[in-house]
């Protein structure tokens, strides 16, 4: 499989003509809170959302879904203050990590911490040398708002661990997952 070039959504909160931002061949996205008139010829397309992409969690999730449908892989946001800045000094975040970070801002958000241990990473080279250099324990925060079963929770934990280092996870242990019940979320 060939490497795909990243498609970056560039957040643009202030500069006129204002909107949420742009991606691809100068495609502008506007929402109900940011939709001034734009002169013809500046953008190849303007997507006008019929909702606010920033005021509610649902609006934000719909916005991210649209970006994913349009093939966006990363979000460039110079105003996002997060722990991700240590790893992404250029402030260009993989879209799923960006989504997870922004979701923590919404009131009533159900984010839970999962402490993972005995993590075994999938690496191609000498397993013994490199496994010892990788973290065996990590904590990840997962939005459990829409999780209804242990299989989905396991998938979300694996995704979060994978995105944290960019390596796939072969196995891990997690007491919170082992003690999972639909009522506990």
Q: What is the pLDDT of residues 119-144, one digit of tens each?
A: 998 887 655 557 778 889 988 888 77
Residue 141: helix, strand or coil by DSSP? strand
Q: What pLDDT score was predicted for residue 73?
A: 95
Segment 24-35, tens digit of pLDDT: 988 999 998 777
Instruction: Calculate the alpha carbon distances from 19 to 74, 174, 175 in Å.
Output: 18, 42, 44
Of the candidate ranges 8-17, 35-44, 88-97, 109-118, the one whose mean pLDDT is the lowest: 8-17
Three-state secondary structure string covering 37-84: CCCCCCCCEEEECCCCCCCCHHHHHHHHHHHHHCCCCEEECCCCCCHH
Q: 121 versus 104: which is more confidently predicted?
A: 121
Would strands 45-48 and 138-143 be described as parallel, antiparallel, or unpaired?
A: unpaired
In degrees, rounded to 5, the angle at the alpha carbon of residue 4 between the alpha carbons of residues 101 and 161 is 35
Of the candidate ranges 13-17, 91-95, 96-100, the one whose mean pLDDT is the lowest: 13-17
Residue 108: partners with Cβ closer than 8 Å, 6 or more residues away: 57
């Amino acid at each position: 499989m060939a490497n795909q070039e990243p498609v970056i959504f560039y957040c643009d909160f202030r500069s006129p003509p204002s909107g949420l931002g742009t991606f691809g061949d100068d495609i502008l996205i506007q929402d109900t809170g940011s939709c001034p008139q734009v002169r013809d010829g500046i953008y190849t397309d303007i997507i006008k959302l019929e909702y606010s992409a920033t005021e509610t969690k649902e609006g934000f999730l719909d916005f991210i879904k649209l970006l994913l449908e349009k093939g966006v892989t990363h979000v460039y946001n110079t105003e996002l203050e997060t722990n991700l800045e240590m790893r992404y000094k250029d402030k260009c975040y993989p879209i799923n990590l960006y989504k997870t970070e922004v979701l923590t801002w919404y009131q009533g958000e159900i984010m839970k911490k999962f402490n993972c241990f005995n993590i075994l990473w999938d690496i191609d080279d000498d397993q013994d040398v490199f496994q010892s250099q990788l973290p065996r324990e990590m904590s990840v925060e997962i939005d459990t708002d829409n999780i209804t079963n242990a299989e989905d929770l396991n998938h979300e934990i694996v995704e979060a661990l994978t995105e944290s280092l960019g390596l796939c996870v072969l196995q891990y242990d997690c007491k919170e997952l082992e003690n999972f019940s639909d009522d506990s979320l």
